[in-house]
Amino acid sequence: MSCVFCEIAQKQIPATIEWEDEEYIAIRDINPQAPVHILIMPKQHFRNVEEAESSVVGRLIEIAQRLARERGLDRGYRIVINTGPEGGQTIYHLHIHLLGGRPFGWPPG
């Protein structure tokens, strides 16, 4: 089974990399929903948040906080984790969305 995010992490598919270390990668979303829309994911494949340990999810949040600070999102930002078909997940590789640079409403969807 092919996973587009695994292929991006392995540099088999090009992407605009916003940040990277040995275990995680952050890329620019190709269909941005805000001026800042970055996808942050572990390079190791986890199907969704249900499969990942809390330390993995915590590290994703830490990376999002760092990227938000670096991009001047001091007025606020949104972090989204979609899980399962009813949660809006379309790519089954754990990732979070960092969105910012514009006001957001509530409820989100």
Q: How far apart are CA 12 and CA 82, in angstroms?
A: 24
For residue 9, give the 3-state DSSP assignment: helix
Which DSSP symbol is given to 91?
A: S
Q: How far, CA to CA in Å, does 74 sit from each of 51, 67, 69?
A: 32, 11, 7
Q: Is-above-0.75 flag for pTM?
A: yes
Distance in angstroms (rounded) separating the CA atoms of residues 41 and 48: 10
Choice among 37, 93, 95, 97 that is catalytic:
95
**From the CA atom positions of the chain, what is the Rg in Å?**
13
Mind listing the pLDDT tens digit for each residue in 62-97?
A: 999 999 999 999 999 999 999 999 999 999 999 999
Active site residue 95: yes
Nearest 5°: phi and psi at 27?
-130, 155
pLDDT band at 1 (very low <50, low <70, confident <90, very high): low
- At 14-24, the pLDDT tens digits run 999 999 999 99
Tell which CATH architecture fits domain 4-100. 2-Layer Sandwich (3.30)
